[in-house]
């Protein structure tokens, strides 16, 4: 078609470029900076060249650029398939498309591609904010597509271009929601789930100070917990994730042992609760204190760590019962030695201290624990998120030189001391605390609530939780991570009122997670059951979906097909005046012409006499005078009638 071969006008190109920029910006958090920044720059350069230099990008340049892009992606990721390399490639191709966009046809293809890239951004982050941002990101492509139609009325201001797109999306929303509810879900994925990079923080199965600091400043939600009864008090809100047994002098690691029955536990009652876990790309499922059984799709390991069968790639809901008062593994048996492991040749002073306690307190393990806690409490230790770096003998340096650190340091040092004194001990990582959202009745636990503590085995009591951090800084346990951090160490977004605002706002995220992200085949069935539809297999759903779409289209057609009889504007104006006069007590009688009626009204309302007579003349002139009323005179009459006062003049 001829119109498709003509060059784009400035407005269309601007809108297309804007659509590309927004798609790229929404994609940017998932792109490496060395790709994102040059791509944005390329768009800017291209826009500037076309607008002010009126030059095109030579076609010869495109092939080398494409080769460069593919090479860069392959060099970084190894291939071009998969979600992350695919996204990087798509973003690059998007920009290459803009380089050659000169005709409406190019622009249309580009806009389709933009929509696709926008959707791909949601594969990384499907929070409410991201979804809204992407939905708004649809406006520039829609506006650009509109601007490609020749013979339209282009608005002068750029922002007015968004309005029709918003209207279109608003009209489309009901049908979209219905389709969303009824689309049959796949029972199993057609191809592999996305293997997203591990760049997202979360608890890892090994504990190093550096990794933990990163975690403590990441305040994205980690899990949301709703309890069947009342929530446990803050001091009991310990969510166990990993039990770490092995220490190599620098880091603690979790050793997963499958095919062993969980350690025996004696517990009376459990707390039932439901956790919705944000994606962690790991298999561990944190649970409150000591889980009694594993949820479906997961298994309980020997040390009562809950490990899921598959990595948690999307939001995962699970319900567990846990005990907070219990006796775990009263008999340690042959595992005794495992909990006393220490690397050889590290931390001699620490080991000496532990051994000296054993000599001092004899067999009283509880006294040794108390001695260690007393050391932390009274030994001049300081809680800080930015401790001084430690050397090779990390625990020696920490205990005897720097004496500052956060939970990881205290848990680690305490466990090493206990093991040196011959008490079986281990490091537990997980979350502690959280924010109780009273409106939503759930506990919000952020990544910054990550915590490390210890468990020691005492004869007759089994494994007992000891939190050495509480000895140094009790607020960390009772008030939470944010309150415990010394002033000035927290990022700006975790400060005071802002944090509280964010905590309240989280209820919206939870609602979004539960209502939208957590909507699955099961909920679909629950939704349809009240309507008498019990079978929700694919064919039933497809039929329902087709019926709904047809119905929606019929409603749309009814709206489109209805014809309003074009009312005579002059007569409508007179009718408005009549209504006003009725309120003033002068009603038009049957068979009374407009002239007689308005003259009678003028006589009855002397205060408005002049005005009414003028209106009458105008009306008669418009209605019977010229063949066709001019728009201005009609507008004048309408305005005069609108301004006609209804209030009675009080005399």
Partner 1 sequence: MHAALRRLAQRAVARAERRLPALTRLRQPEPLPIELNRRRIYILPTAFGFGFGALLLVMLVGALNYANNAALLLTCLLGAAAAASMLLAFRTLDGLRLSDIRADHVVAGEALRLTLDFSASRLREAVRLDCMGETRAFAVDGTAELCLQLPTTRRGWQALPRIRVWSTWPLGMFRAWSWLHPQQSVLVWPRPEQAGPPPVLPADGQERLRPQPGEELAALRDYRRGDAPRHIAWKASARHHDLLVKDFDRPEPRETWSLDWHALRSLDREARIARLARWLGEAEAQGRRYSLQLPGERIEFGSGPAHYARCMGALAVLP
Check residue 179 for interaction with partner 1 (CB under 8 A): yes
CB of 311 to partner 1, least distance (A): 14
**Beta-carbon count within 10 A of 131 CB:** 16
Check residue 632 for interaction with partner 1 (CB under 8 A): no
Check residue 148 for interaction with partner 1 (CB under 8 A): yes
Q: Which of residues 75-114 bind partner 1 (CB under 8 A)?
A: 104, 108-109, 112
Check residue 566 for interaction with partner 1 (CB under 8 A): yes
**φ and ψ at residue 545, rounded to 5 degrees:** -60, -45
Rule CB under 8 A: choose which of 52, 159, 191, 497 binds partner 1: 191
The stretch near partner 1 (CB under 8 A) out of 64-72, 168-176, 449-457, 588-596 is 168-176
Rule CB under 8 A: choose which of 159, 492, 531, 561 binds partner 1: 561
CB of 32 to partner 1, least distance (A): 22
Rule CB under 8 A: choose which of 28, 65, 72, 146 binds partner 1: 146
Which residue, among 589, 571, 579, has the nearest Cα to 646 in the 3D structure?
Answer: 579
Check residue 138 for interaction with partner 1 (CB under 8 A): yes
Rule CB under 8 A: choose which of 66, 177, 293, 325 binds partner 1: 177
CB of 50 to partner 1, least distance (A): 22
Check residue 152 for interaction with partner 1 (CB under 8 A): yes
Cα 625–chain centre separation = 66
Sort 279 into a burial class: Cβ within 10 Å, 0-12 / 13-18 / 19+.
Answer: middle
CB of 601 to partner 1, least distance (A): 32
Residue 218 CB contacts under 8 Å (≥ 6 apart), including other chains: 201, 446, 447, 448
Which residue, among 478, 492, 537, 424, has the nearest Cα to 187 in the 3D structure?
Answer: 537
Q: Which of residues 531-550 bind partner 1 (CB under 8 A)?
A: 549
Check residue 162 for interaction with partner 1 (CB under 8 A): no
Rule CB under 8 A: choose which of 314, 370, 377, 525 binds partner 1: 314
The stretch near partner 1 (CB under 8 A) out of 37-45, 53-61, 177-185, 395-403 is 177-185
Check residue 7 for interaction with partner 1 (CB under 8 A): no
Is 414 within 8 Å of 376 (Cβ atoms)? Answer: yes
CB of 115 or CB of 613, closer to partner 1: 115
The stretch near partner 1 (CB under 8 A) out of 291-299, 481-489, 556-564, 634-642 is 556-564
Helix (H, G, I), strand (E, B) or coil at 113: helix
CB of 373 to partner 1, least distance (A): 47
CB of 65 to partner 1, least distance (A): 24
Alpha helices, DSSP H, located in 421-480? 468-472, 475-478
CB of 126 or CB of 355, closer to partner 1: 126
Check residue 134 for interaction with partner 1 (CB under 8 A): yes
Helix (H, G, I), strand (E, B) or coil at 224: strand
Q: How far apart are CA 266 and CA 425, in angstroms?
A: 20
Q: Which of residues 316-375 bind partner 1 (CB under 8 A)?
A: none
The stretch near partner 1 (CB under 8 A) out of 13-21, 126-134, 202-210, 215-223 is 126-134
**φ and ψ at residue 329, rounded to 5 degrees:** 50, 65
Q: How far apart are CA 223 and CA 275, in angstroms?
A: 7
Q: Which long-range contacts (CB under 8 A, 24 or more apart) does 32-37 make?
A: 32/76, 32/88, 34/72, 35/72, 35/88, 35/91, 35/92, 36/91
CB of 141 or CB of 295, closer to partner 1: 141
Number of residues that bind partner 1 (CB under 8 A): 64
CB of 475 or CB of 540, closer to partner 1: 540
Check residue 157 for interaction with partner 1 (CB under 8 A): no
Binding flags for partner 1, 502-531, as an x/- string (CB under 8 A): --------------xxxxx-----------
Known catalytic residues?
Answer: 407, 451, 467
Alpha helices, DSSP H, located in 513-645? 521-528, 538-561, 569-583, 594-604, 609-620, 631-642
**φ and ψ at residue 442, rounded to 5 degrees:** -150, 160
Check residue 571 for interaction with partner 1 (CB under 8 A): no
Residue 123 CB contacts under 8 Å (≥ 6 apart), including other chains: 83, 87, 194
Is 433 within 8 Å of 305 (Cβ atoms)? Answer: no
Q: Which of residues 585-624 bind partner 1 (CB under 8 A)?
A: none
Give the position of tokens 């007393």. 374
Check residue 391 for interaction with partner 1 (CB under 8 A): no
Check residue 214 for interaction with partner 1 (CB under 8 A): no
Helix (H, G, I), strand (E, B) or coil at 598: helix
The stretch near partner 1 (CB under 8 A) out of 128-136, 228-236, 376-384, 607-615 is 128-136
Check residue 153 for interaction with partner 1 (CB under 8 A): yes
Residue 569 CB contacts under 8 Å (≥ 6 apart), including other chains: 634, 638
Is 372 within 8 Å of 384 (Cβ atoms)? Answer: no
CB of 543 to partner 1, least distance (A): 17
**Is the CA virtual torsion 38, 40, 42, 44 positive or negative?**
negative
Check residue 629 for interaction with partner 1 (CB under 8 A): no
Is 253 within 8 Å of 246 (Cβ atoms)? Answer: yes
Rule CB under 8 A: choose which of 3, 74, 325, 546 binds partner 1: 3
Residue 477 CB contacts under 8 Å (≥ 6 apart), including other chains: 234, 235, 432, 433, 467, 469, 470
CB of 165 to partner 1, least distance (A): 8
**Is the CA virtual torsion 530, 535, 540, 541 positive or negative?**
positive
Question: Which residues here bind partner 1, judged by CB under 8 A?
Answer: 1-3, 104, 108-109, 112, 115-116, 118-119, 122-123, 126, 130-131, 134-135, 138, 142, 145-146, 148-153, 164, 168-169, 171-177, 179-180, 183, 185-186, 189-191, 193-194, 314, 516-520, 549, 552-553, 556-557, 559-561, 563, 566
């Amino acid at each position: 078609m001829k119109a498709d071969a003509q060059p784009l006008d400035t407005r269309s190109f601007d809108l297309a470029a804007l659509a590309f920029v927004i798609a790229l910006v929404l994609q940017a958090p998932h792109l490496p900076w060395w790709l994102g920044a040059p791509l944005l720059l390329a768009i800017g350069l291209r826009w500037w060249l076309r607008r002010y230099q009126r030059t095109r990008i030579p076609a010869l340049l495109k092939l080398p650029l494409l080769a460069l892009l593919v090479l860069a992606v392959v060099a970084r990721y190894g291939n071009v398939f998969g979600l992350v390399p695919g996204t990087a490639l798509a973003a690059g191709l998007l920009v290459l498309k803009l380089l050659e966009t000169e005709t409406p046809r190019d622009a249309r293809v580009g806009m389709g591609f933009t929509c696709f890239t926008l959707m791909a951004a949601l594969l990384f982050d499907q929070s409410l904010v991201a979804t809204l941002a992407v939905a708004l990101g649809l406006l520039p492509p829609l506006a650009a597509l509109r601007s490609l139609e020749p013979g339209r009325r282009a608005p002068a201001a750029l922002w007015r271009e968004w309005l029709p797109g918003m209207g279109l999306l608003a009209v489309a929303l009901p049908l979209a929601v219905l389709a969303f509810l009824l689309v049959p879900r796949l029972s199993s994925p057609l191809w592999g789930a996305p293997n997203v990079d591990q760049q997202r923080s979360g608890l890892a199965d090994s504990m190093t100070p550096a990794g933990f600091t990163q975690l403590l400043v990441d305040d994205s939600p980690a899990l949301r917990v709703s309890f069947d009864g009342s929530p446990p008090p803050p001091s009991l809100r310990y969510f166990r994730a990993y039990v770490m047994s092995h220490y190599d002098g620098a880091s603690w690691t979790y050793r997963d042992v499958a095919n062993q029955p969980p350690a025996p536990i004696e517990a009376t009652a459990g707390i039932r609760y439901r956790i919705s876990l944000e994606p962690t790309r790991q298999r561990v499922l944190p649970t409150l204190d000591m889980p009694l059984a594993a949820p479906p799709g997961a298994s309980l390991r020997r040390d009562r760590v809950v490990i899921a069968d598959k990595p948690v790639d999307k939001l995962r809901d699970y319900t567990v019962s846990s005990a907070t008062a219990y006796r775990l593994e009263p008999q340690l048996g042959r595992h005794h030695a495992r909990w006393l492991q220490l690397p050889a040749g590290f931390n001699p002073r620490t080991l000496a201290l532990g051994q000296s306690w054993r000599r001092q307190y004899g067999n009283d393990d509880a006294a040794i624990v108390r001695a260690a806690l007393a050391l932390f409490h009274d030994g001049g230790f300081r809680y800080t998120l930015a401790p001084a770096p430690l050397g090779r003998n990390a625990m020696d340096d920490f205990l005897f030189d720097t004496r500052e650190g956060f939970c990881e340091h205290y848990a680690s040092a305490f466990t090493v001391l206990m093991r040196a004194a011959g008490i079986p001990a281990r490091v537990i990582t997980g979350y502690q605390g959280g924010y109780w959202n009273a409106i939503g009745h759930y506990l919000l636990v952020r990544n910054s609530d990550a915590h490390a503590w210890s468990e020691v085995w005492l004869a007759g009591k089994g494994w007992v939780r000891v939190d050495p951090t509480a000895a140094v800084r009790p607020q960390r346990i009772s008030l939470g991570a944010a309150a415990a951090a010394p002033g000035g160490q927290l990022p700006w977004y975790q400060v005071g009122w802002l944090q509280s605002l964010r905590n309240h706002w989280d209820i919206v995220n939870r609602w979004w997670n539960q209502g939208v992200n957590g909507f699955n085949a099961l909920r679909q069935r629950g939704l349809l059951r009240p309507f008498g539809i019990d079978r929700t297999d694919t064919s039933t759903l497809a039929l329902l979906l087709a019926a709904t779409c047809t119905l929606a289209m019929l409603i749309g057609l009814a709206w489109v097909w209805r014809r309003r009889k074009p009312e005579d504007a002059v007569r409508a104006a007179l009718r408005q005046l009549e209504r006003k006069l009725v309120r003033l007590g002068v009603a038009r009688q049957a068979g009374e012409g407009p002239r007689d009626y308005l003259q009678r009204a003028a006589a009855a309302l002397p205060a408005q006499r002049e005005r009414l007579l003028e209106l009458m003349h105008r009306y008669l002139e418009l209605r019977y005078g010229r063949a066709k009323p001019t728009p201005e005179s009609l507008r004048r009459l309408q305005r005069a009638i609108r301004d006609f006062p209804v209030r009675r003049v009080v005399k």
